[in-house]
Chain A
Amino acid sequence: MRQKLVTFITLFIAWIIFSGGISFDVLFVGTLVSLLTTSLFHDMLFRFSNHKLSLLDYLKKFGLILLFIPVFFYEAINSALKVSIHVFEKKPSFSPGIVKVKTHLTNVTAISILANLITLTPGTMTLDFDKGDRVYYIHWIDVKTREEAEARREIIERFESWLDVIFK
C-alpha cells in the first residue's frame, strides 16, 4: 500500500512539473494517468527492503542526499579539471589501465549507485562488477598505484562513506 502511495505521489508531482501549471484539466488527467500507471507498474519504481524505518529516518536520508549533492559536484569538477589538463599536453602523458577495487557495501541499491557515481566522475569508469567477490573493475585514466588499498582510497572511499551512512 505504502509502495503504491509513494509511486502515485512521485508520478503526480512529475506530471505537474512537466505540464507547467496547475489547473482543473491538468489535475484531472494527471490523476487518471498516475492511477493507471500505478496500478500496472507499482512494484518497479521503489522497492522497500526494510519496512521498519520511520518517517524521521526517511527525512534524515533525504537531508543527507541533499548534503551529498555539493560534495559530488566538488569531486566531479576536481577530476574534470585533471582530465582537462591531459587534453592540452603536447603529448598526452597518461597511464590508463583497469584496476580491481573491492567494496564492503552489501545493499544492492548502494552498490549500483556507487557504480554510477564512479562512472559519472570523469577519469574513472566502471566496466564490471563481480557479485561473488564484490569487486569493481574500473578503467582509470591515470593509474597512480597498483596497490589495491591505495586505489581504493583514491577512487571510491570518498563516496563509499556517504553511501554507508545513507543506506545503513
Chain B
Amino acid sequence: MLIREIIAYIFMSIGAIFAIITVIGLIRFPDVYTRIHAAAVVLTISAAFLTFGVAIYVWEFFLSLKIVLIGVFFLIANPMATHSIARASYRTKVAKLKVRTVDEYSDYLGSEDK
C-alpha cells in the first residue's frame, strides 16, 4: 500500500466520521437553528476533507483539479443556502427559537415594522 493511499484514506475517514456525527446531531438537537449548526459541520469540514481525500486518491492532474474545484464550489454555495433557510424560517415565523438565552434580532425586526 502506498503512503499516498494511506493519507487519502485518513482524510476520507475523518470526513466520514464528521458526517456520522452530523446525522446524530440532526436527530438529537432541539430546534431548526441548532440543527442547522449541526449540518454546518458536514457542509464545511466533511465535504472539504472528502473531496481532498478523493483528489489525493485518484492522483491524476486534471481529475484531481476538477475534484478540488467541486470542493471549492461546495464552500461557496453552502453558506448561502444555510443563511437563506435560517433567515426565511425566522422571518416567516415557521420555526420558533425553542431554546434561547438572548434574541436581539426580534427587537430589530420590531423596529423595522413601525
Contact = CB atoms under 8 A, between A and B. Distances in A.
Interface of A: 14, 17-18, 20-21, 73, 76-77, 80, 83-84, 86-88, 92, 94-100, 115-117, 119-123, 125-128, 130, 137, 139, 141, 143, 146
B102 A98 contact: yes
B65 interface: yes
A122 B97 contact: no
Contacts of A119: 40, 78-79, 82-83
Contact of B45 (A18, A80, A86, A127): A80
A117 B63 CA distance: 27
A168 B40 CA distance: 30
A139 B102 contact: no
Contacts of B18: 80, 84
Contacts of A100: 104-105, 108
Interface of B: 18, 21, 24-25, 28-30, 33-34, 36-38, 40-41, 43-45, 48, 62-63, 65-66, 69, 75-76, 78-80, 82-83, 86-87, 90, 97, 99-106, 108
A81 B82 CA distance: 19
B104 A99 contact: yes
B110 to A, nearest CB: 13
If over half of B's interface residues share one DSSP class (helix, strand or loop), that class is named, otherwise mixed; here it is helix
Given A17-B66, A20-B62, A119-B82, A96 B101 contact: yes
Given A100-B104, A116-B79, A137-B105, A20 B45 contact: no
Interface SS of A by simple majority: mixed
A77 B28 contact: no
15 contacts: A73-B48, A80-B41, A84-B18, A84-B41, A86-B29, A87-B28, A94-B99, A96-B99, A97-B102, A98-B97, A100-B105, A120-B43, A121-B44, A127-B90, A128-B105
Contacts of A146: 101-102
B105 A96 contact: no
Nearest to B107: A100
A18 B21 CA distance: 32
Give 4 closest A-B pairs by Cβ, nearest first. Answer: A119-B79, A97-B102, A97-B101, A87-B25
B6 to A, nearest CB: 20
Contacts, number: 126
Given A96-B100, A97-B103, A120-B78, A125 B36 contact: yes
Nearest to A20: B62
Contacts of B34: 92, 94, 96, 141
